[in-house]
Structure formats: C-alpha cells, structure tokens
Structure 1
C-alpha cells in the first residue's frame, strides 16, 4: 500500500507468556504497511522476553524494563520510542484480525478522524465467542456500558463524544494520530487502570474527532488476570481518581452540559465504590480510613 503513513504497534507485556504468541502473530500479520512492532517487556519473570526474541527477525523490536514499572510507564516508554504517524497499543493477550489496522485507518482518513476503533469479539480465556463488546449480540460483560442491550456507538461524532464523556470506554485497541500525544501529553502516571479512559477524554476535549467501525475486527480477551477483573476495588478507586482529574484539570474545556455530565460521572463512580465497600467485611472505621488513605472524600 504505497504512500501510507507508518503505523507503530506498541505491545506492553508483563508475564504474558501464555498468550503473547497469538498477539505477536496477529500484529505481524496486519495487512497494513508500513508498520513497526515494538514490544516493551515490563520486567517479566517468565518466558515473555524469550518468546518475543523469536519474532525479532520478523520485524519485532524488543525493549526490556529492568524492573516492573506498571502499565502507564510501559505505554509511555513505547510511545516515546515509536516512529509512526499512527499509533496503537495492543495488549499482550488480545488478538487483531489481519485487516484491522487497514480498515480502521481507512475509516479515519475518509472521515478526517484522529481516533479510530472497531467492534471486537469477546475471547473468554482461550475460547472465541461470537458475542461482541459493542454490537449485537452483546457479550454480558459489556451490556452495562450503554445502559442496555439495544444501544451501540452512534456514527455522529458529537454523540460519540458525549457517550465517551459519560464514561463509556472506547476500544482499548484504538488507533491514534501520534500528533494527539504531542499536543495533549503522554500517559498520566497517576493512574494504574483508568489511564486509557482519561486519555480518550483528554483527546476529545482538545478537539479530536473519533470514528467507529461497526465490523468486529479482533478479539478482546476476558480472563481473571486482567487488571479490572482481578482487582475490582482498585479499578473503582482509579475511576474515582480519573473523574476528579477531569473535573479539576479539564473543566475549562467543557461546555456547561459536559461539566454536569462529568459531575454525574464522579458521583456515580463514588456510589459504586461506597456500595462495594459496604458489602465488604471492613468496619465503618476501616472504610473511613481506607477512603482517607486513597484521598477519596464525600
């Protein structure tokens, strides 16, 4: 595909030996050209790096952190070493169909968009499903994000922006124009889990346009070792922090309606956190100390 802009596929990896071969194969087989594939091994103690080394003669570049530094550091390391005008982060357990990058970038260029993503099938452990993250039939784990089974992403960019500001997480496999990171900054290191949602909100509030491809062009893996699955309490805390950052640092970029949406998001996230703590075995005093420790105030 002569004349295309370079795509950087950044794969953060930590103890990913179980599935990273599938992920690497799907990256190497992307039909979009030209592309570069960068794997950042975040201090893995298993065979992740050794597996990746077998792909270095197929255009894969391996970087190694000496110690485990966390997802946002690893994302930023990959970002700062990427050369592409387009960039995507591919988790080391997810799988893209060969045409994913070509179809999404084509849609971005046709619509003058800065962010593009497609629907994805669910992959439960090693079992691929025909249920989807966003389309129909919807996987049960993702029905809540649109308030019901019949909702999907709109084609109108203004409505899409509103949904994302309301807390809807767009695909973690989104493709970005790299210029967005130059204009808006790199990954926020204050967050461990919700940094991707904060990234999308920041980009949209700074004027980025987003496009959605309704065709399912990859697989999002659901398993117990995923950050939000293995520690739902940490995920809720991170979401609370993200909403506070949005209200304190981005309110000047929002309309009055968007500020109301952000406050509603903050209140709803806090309510979910408080409900989670109320169902726990912690005493009232322990809950109060926990909230103070994590700087979450009523």
Structure 2
C-alpha cells in the first residue's frame, strides 16, 4: 500500500497535465500512487497520461463532466494511501513537497489532520507568494478564505470522517471542505514554497465566472450564522461577490454587496475605489480592471522576474510553459 495517494482531477488540460504528473514523479519521497481522474475531457488527455511508463499511475475516465469536487471524490474512493494529496492539472509541486509535509506529520500530535505549505502563484501578468501561518483549529481563519488545494496533504481517515468534497458546490469547494475538517482536526504547515499555481485560462477559480457566484451563494447560505459572527470574513466574502457580479456585467448587484461589506466595517481603500468605479457601470468597471491588469503586466516586465527567489526560478525554468508565462519564450 502506498503512503500517499495523489489525486489529479482534470478536464481538457492535455497541454499541461504532463507537467503536473512529471512534478509528482520527481518528488524526493517516492512511495506514492497517482490517480488521474479525467472529468469527461474531449482532448487527448488520455494519450498524454498513458505516455508515462510508470505503474504507479492510474487513469480513470468519467463518462461525463461532473465537476472538480466529484472527480476528487472518485479519486479518493479509488485511493489506497494513508495520506491523500490533491494536485490540479495546471499546477506543479516542487520536489520536496511530500517529504517535508510527511516530516511535519511525524512530529505532530494525532489531532493534526492537514499539513499545508506556501504557494507561488504564476500568472501571465504577475507573480506573488501566498504564505499563511495559521495552525491548530483554524475555523474562524478559514471563513475568510481557503488554503490552496494543491498545497494540502490530508490524512485519509479524516476525509472519510468529514464526508469528502461537497459536490453541490460548483466553486469554493476547498474553503467548504477545510471548514468541515477544521471543526474537528488541527492544521499544520511547512514553512517554505512547495507548490506553483499556474493560470492558463479562465476557470471556476476566476472571480468573473458565474459558477463562482453560485458557489459563494451556497457557501454564505450554509455558513451564514458563523459568517455573521465574523464580520471580517463576511465583509471579505461580500467583496468577492461584488467583484464577481461587476465582472459579468451586473454592477447594480455588485454595489449592493459592496455596501453590505462597508456596513459591517469592512472598509479598505480598495473597497472605496471599487465602489466608486462600479457606480459608472460594468463597462467602465471592466475597462478599469483591464487597465489595472495592464499595469501589473508592465510592472512585471520591468521588475517582476527579479523578485522571484532563485530556487523557484530554477525550478520554473525546467518547464517550457513557465517560460512562456514569464515572457521568456514565445
């Protein structure tokens, strides 16, 4: 039986899933299995996965597209490892991820159910690092935002205990699952960047996707009592909703959520700017958003690459598509 099961859900990501699989195969800790769950792809995903000559890789194809949560649940049910990790098919693990996380588990008390790590986000227009230092029972902290799914390593029995991923959520599934886990189990972290999150095209994680609005609505309905008791988390969620509505052409609704956030005391300069711009309508809002993105791209071309840690840059250069995101190749 493998120590770790790595579940990779994918949908029409043949052009990047090979990178994700390769990053797992190059782990310093090698006692794992890889379960690729193809969520009804129409491209050559199967061909790419089967091109790897490694008995630890299993490919499961679903008969129709059921969403990431369902695909992760299928992978979990098929897994055999003591620990389960999830890797999105766009993303990459640094070679020491599993080794470092398992070391933390060994040193932790039995009440710890999840170990996560820092992530490096690589977009077409900018890069940044996400660091969290929340540990223990962090329910209130998670109400305001999830820990990135590819950074998680979870004890298998805990996923079974909390019921796995909620398939009714088309987005925000990570925050919802982590909240259920945090009610009963502790979290720990690895103090280093071990994951690269990449973005090649729009998905449910993008704020202008209607599915994200649906997911946020379900999230607020399910956790309304706790959110109302945590004004910071509630305000932040309202702003997520506001931006999502403005991006899909419904600034009239977005403004209402911005005002709700302000009424809770969630007052920040960015919220004031968003509210001012939203009053001119969605067309102007999206133009200003595009300008903002353009400024980020220009900043990145001049200074951005210089801010990337040397060890992370060396890792990124091992993958051709990263060079394109960094503007180093066509």
Q: TM-score range by the shorter chain?
A: 0.7 to 0.9
Gaps of 5+ in 2: 254-330
Q: What is the TM-score normalised by the length of structure 2?
A: 0.68
Segments of 5+ residues of structure 1 without an aligned counterpart are 135-151, 252-257, 288-298
Preserved CA contact (<8 Å) 1:94 1:221: yes
Matching residue of 2:206: 229
- Contact map agreement 1:244 1:266 (CA 8 A) in 2: no
Q: Report the Cα offset of residue 204 of structure 1.
A: 0.4
Whether the aligned pair in 2 keeps the contact of 1:10 and 1:79 (CA below 8 Å) is yes
Offset at 1:190?
A: 1.1
The answer to whether 1:71 aligns with 2:68 is yes
The aligned residue for residue 19 of structure 1 is 16
2:136 corresponds, among 157, 161, 166, to 157
Deviations 1:191-246, CA, capped at 9 Å, x for gaps: 011111100000001x2110111211121113333322274443133123113213
- The number of residue pairs the alignment matches comes to 252
Distance 1:124 1:273 in 2: 22
Pick the aligned partner of 2:46 from 44, 49, 57: 49
Could you tell me how far apart the structure 2 residues matched to 1:77 and 1:5 are? 18
Distance verdict in 2 for CA 1:161–1:60, change over 3 Å: same
Q: Deviations over 1:67-91 (max 9, x none)?
A: 2111111111101101111001110
Q: Which is bigger in relative contact order (C-alpha 8 A, separation at least 6)?
A: 1
2:206 match: secondary structure: helix
C-alpha contact 1:223 1:229 (8 A) present in aligned 2: no
Q: Distance in 1 between matches of 2:64 and 2:70?
A: 11
Task: Label 1:37 to 1:279 Cα distance change in 2 as closer, same or farther (>3 A).
Answer: closer
Within 1, Cα distance between the matches of 2:38 and 2:247?
A: 37
Higher-Rg member (1/2): 2
Give the deviation of 1:265 after TM superposition.
Answer: 3.4
- Of the structure 1 ranges 196-205 and 217-226, higher mean CA displacement relative to structure 2 is found in 217-226
SS at match of 1:227: coil
Distance in 2 between the 1:124 and 1:221 partners? 6
- TM-score, normalization by structure 1: 0.75
CA distance in 1 between partners of 2:247 and 2:43 (Å): 36
